[in-house]
A and B are shown apart, each in its own frame.
Chain A
Amino acid sequence: AQKVTQAQTEISVVEKEDVTLDCVYETRDTTYYLFWYKQPPSGELVFLIRRNSFDEQNEISGRYSWNFQKSTSSFNFTITASQVVDSAVYFCALSRIKAAGNKLTFGGGTRVLVKP
């Protein structure tokens, strides 16, 4: 069985501070996908990134960066110089690669509140 744990339920920061969201996962598969989604107050789910398990290169996209460490089964997400618009719930998720229907297993989510 697969499991994703986001230990931080809520993080509050002041604008321009950096914030790191932790994600730890469990899977018996040797190959898999990892994802981050953003859910703003409006409620929709916004895809942020997908990472293959065989690619441990860190990735940066603007103010967002991701640190994937297979050795510790972690896929952490950092927002640099946070802004009020970053206030949202962020979900980490995992899926198998070779499975009929790529079902996602989500973590419980981390609510980020960025105060002006």
Chain B
Amino acid sequence: NAGVTQTPKFRVLKTGQSMTLLCAQDMNHEYMYWYRQDPGMGLRLIHYSVGEGTTAKGEVPDGYNVSRLKKQNFLLGLESAAPSQTSVYFCASSSRGPSSYEQYFGPGTRLTVT
């Protein structure tokens, strides 16, 4: 099992450019999450999804959009990148039910916006 994978691993963007980060999980999990990690601030939730076709805002959603067209994929989009979006992005997934508390994290994507 690959678990949770993220594409790409690294990316450099110029201000105003757009891009999409792809998260894929092969554990048939219902819930998926996108977090960003900034120094001294831990991980903060951007958006999450509780099932295919559903998305919801997290703590820091501004400047990002997400889609969950397939259960196994969760896309994070930046329409017009800004330097403040320079961060490490982590995707996670978890099952529904008694074990839903356990989130499985991807390896992260390091994004730099110049």
Q: Which residues of A contact B (CB under 8 A)?
A: 4, 6, 9, 33, 43-45, 47, 50, 91, 93, 95, 97, 100-109
Q: Is the CB of B88 within 8 A of A43?
A: yes
Docked complex Cα distance between A9 and B40 (Å): 7
16 A-B pairs within 8 Å (CB atoms) are namely A9-B40, A33-B101, A43-B108, A44-B107, A45-B105, A91-B43, A95-B101, A97-B101, A101-B48, A101-B56, A103-B33, A103-B45, A104-B35, A104-B43, A104-B103, A106-B43
Q: Is the CB of B102 within 8 A of A101?
A: no
Docked complex Cα distance between A109 and B40 (Å): 7
Of A44, A97, A100, chain B has the most CB atoms within 10 Å of the CB of A100
Q: How near does chain B come to A95, taking the closest CB pair, in angstroms?
A: 6
Q: What is the number of residues of chain B that contact chain A, defined by CB distance less than 8 Å? A: 25
Tell me the residues in window 38-83 of chain B with beta carbons closer than 8 Å to chain A beta carbons.
40-45, 48-50, 56, 58-59
Q: Is the CB of B42 within 8 A of A106?
A: yes
Q: How near does chain B come to A91, taking the closest CB pair, in angstroms?
A: 6
Q: Which of B31, B33, B40 makes the CB contact (< 8 A) with A108? A: B40
Find chain B residues with CB under 8 A from A100 CB.
Answer: 50
Known contacts A102-B100, A104-B45, A104-B103; 7 additional CB pairs below 8 A are A45-B105, A101-B31, A101-B48, A102-B94, A103-B33, A106-B44, A107-B42
Docked complex Cα distance between A103 and B57 (Å): 11
Find chain A residues with CB under 8 A from B49 CB.
Answer: 101
Q: Is the CB of B108 within 8 A of A44?
A: yes
Q: Is the CB of B102 within 8 A of A47?
A: yes
